[in-house]
Amino acid sequence: MIEFHLDSRSGVSAYLQLVQQVRRALRLGLLSEGDQLPTVKDVARQLAINPNTVLKAYRDLERDGLVAPRPGVGTFVTRTLTDNTLAAHGPLRTDLQRWLSKARRAGLDDESIEALFMTTFRAASEEDIA
Amino acid sequence: MTTALRTHELGKRYGRSRHWALKDCTLDLPTGRVVGLVGPNGAGKSTLLGLAAGMLVPTAGRIDVLGEAPSSGSEHLARVGFVSQDAPTYRGMSVADHLRLGAHLNPRWDDALVRERIDRLGIDPSRRTGSLSGGQRAQIALTMAIGKRPELLILDEPVAALDPLARREFMQDLMEAVAEQDLTVVLSSHLVSDLERACDYLVVLVDSQVRVAGDLEELLASHRRMTGARRPSDVGPAGHHVVTASHTDRQSTFVVRTGGPLVDPSWDATPLGLEDLVLAYLRGDASYERPRPTVEVVR
């Protein structure tokens, strides 16, 4: 079982924070297939939050095929998000570090590096979609 | 959609006073929601809630609660729970006496539910309510109101007098009750932060009139703060309804209810949080036009 936390100053809606926390738990392997999510009533109580917000988050996860409700029992994980890419993280990080030092040598400051990365990342994601 | 509370040009004056505590109030609140009623002190929140609970009689206009006039009989009263601002209990009576009284007066009294709640609150039933803390008294009042299994629960500033921990515990108990029961809640507060997580419907009352009312998420999705180069007047971005406008020598800032897609690149549009949204309506004098049939929010 996981426990939810809400950051009221993050600017992210409560419903989205719940969705993100489940997804993160699935990615980190904290939740796996067959695990039960806290009941809507328990989350509403624990966070003093509108139960409809919890329902909405769970429905969203259901739509993504990650969880399924069992009537009268609760909501259960049906799929995990852990993957086999962990092995590739090391080499990719080395590449990225090399690229970062190159960017610094070229005179880019933190803000410019971040902006360049984000615009390139977004452009690449859009190309993938198109 | 069924209606929990419907008013039409509702007005209230107390005694021979010429002052309208509530005036031309027209509202339609759906069932199954947790409705937050926000407004400054003296806006008429308590008057509206008192009218809805059948504790007050309207001077003008009409009010329907769960499809009937309030105070239309004891059967109707049993469907509505009401906790007024000071969380009233009989101070000389014990908690157990309160529960006996509740069971005696309410046809749908849920004794098991009430005992379970009192037990969890850790309050000794033999204690007089006068000896309890403010937070505990508020919890007893809420428990009594929930114990009668109402369809509509009306809470007037339920947490205003409580410390942060008692506030939190009260809201936790309330949200649990909403999850358990088929319950519509209308609660008032002059603090937006009390309502942010709990409510899914918002009513802003200013100077005894409704400034804005609607589904909280739709309201947040349809309002933007737009900044751009100084414009000559208070004429805001075309096609959008201006709530507030402010100007410096260089810049104009508008809070708008969007009337369509935001396409004009000369404006920088950012979403508003609940607090800023409410403040805009408290400050702005533009009244809110009821939106056309709800537009599906595109994600």
The answer to whether the CB of B156 falls within 8 A of the CB of B85 is yes
B60 with B208: CB under 8 angstroms?
no
pLDDT at B233: 67
Q: What is the pLDDT of residue A1?
A: 83
Q: Is B175–A48 a contact, with Cβ atoms under 8 angstroms apart?
A: yes
- Mean pLDDT on A107-125: 89
Query: Mind listing the pLDDT tens digit for each residue in B77-93?
Result: 888 999 988 778 888 99
Q: Which domains does chain A have, with CATH numbers?
A: 14-77 (1.10.10.10), 86-129 (no CATH)
pLDDT in tens, B37-87: 999 888 899 999 999 998 899 999 999 999 888 867 777 788 899 998 877
Residues A44, B176: C-beta atoms closer than 8 Å: yes
DSSP annotation of B269: E
- Residues B184 and B182: their CA atoms lie apart, in Å, by 7
Residue of A nearest to B221 (CA): A13
CB contact under 8 A, A50 and B168: no
How many angstroms separate the CA of residue A56 from the nearest CA in chain B? 12
Residues of A in contact with B179 (CB under 8 A): 40-41, 44-45, 51
The fold for domain B3-207 equals: Rossmann fold (3.40.50)
Q: Domain extents for chain B?
A: 3-207, 217-283
Q: What is the pLDDT of residue A130?
A: 59
* Mean pLDDT over the full length of chain B: 86
Taking CA atoms, what residue in A is nearest to B199? A50
Mean of pLDDT values over A109-121: 90
Q: Which of residues 4-23 of A touch B (CB under 8 A)?
A: 6, 8, 11, 13-14
Residue B288 has pLDDT above 50, yes or no: no
Contact A41 B176 (CB under 8 A): yes
Of B173, B193, B198, the CB nearest to A50: B198
Q: Chain-centre distance of CA B24, in angstroms?
A: 18
Closest partner residue to A50 (CB to CB) among B168, B193, B197 is: B197
- The string of pLDDT tens digits covering residues B198-213 is 999 999 999 888 999 9
When CB atoms are compared, the residue of A8, A11, A50 closest to B34 is: A50
pLDDT band for B1, please (50, 70, 90 cuts).
low
Contact assignment for A50 to B196 by CB distance below 8 Å: no
Q: Please write the tens of the pLDDT for every residue from B88-109.
A: 888 899 999 999 998 998 888 9
Mean pLDDT of B277-297: 60
CB–CB contact A48 B168 (8 Å): yes
Which one of B175, B196, B217 has the shortest CB-CB distance to A44? B175
pLDDT of residue B230: 87
Average pLDDT over residues A13-33: 90
- Pairing between β-strand B268-271 and β-strand A67-70 as defined by DSSP bridges: unpaired
Nearest-by-CA chain A residue for B184: A50
CB contact under 8 A, A51 and B178: yes
Q: What is the ipTM of this complex?
A: 0.79
Report residue B268 as tokens. 């920088």
Number of Cβ pairs < 8 A linking chain A and chain B: 48
State yes or no: pLDDT of B241 exceeds 70: yes
Across the range B131-151, mean pLDDT stands at 90
**Closest in A11, A13, A51 to B175, CB measured:** A51
Asked if residue B245 lies in contact with residue B224, where contact means CB atoms within 8 angstroms, the answer is no
- List CB contacts (< 8 A) between A49 and chain B: 175, 197-198
**Does residue B295 carry a pLDDT above 50?**
no
- What span, in angstroms and rounded, lies between the C-alpha atoms of B74 and B77? 5
Interface of A with B in 44-103 (CB under 8 A): 44-53
Query: What pLDDT sits at residue B299?
Result: 41
Confidence of residue B120 (pLDDT cuts 50, 70, 90): confident
DSSP letters of B82-114?
EE-TT----TTSBHHHHHHHHHHH-TT--HHHH
pLDDT of residue B228 exceeding 50, the answer is: yes
Residues of B with CB under 8 A from a CB of A: 34, 168, 171-176, 178-180, 193, 196-200, 217, 220, 273
Nearest to B281 by CA among B215, B195, B199, B223: B223
Model confidence at B5, in pLDDT bands (50, 70, 90)? very high
User: What does the pLDDT read at residue B166?
Assistant: 85
**Rg of chain B's alpha carbons, rounded to an integer?**
21
* Rounded Cα–Cα distance for residues A91 and A87 (Å): 8
Binned at pLDDT 50, 70 and 90, residue B290 comes out as: very low
Q: CB of B223 within 8 A of CB of B248? A: no
CA distance A93 to chain B (A): 32
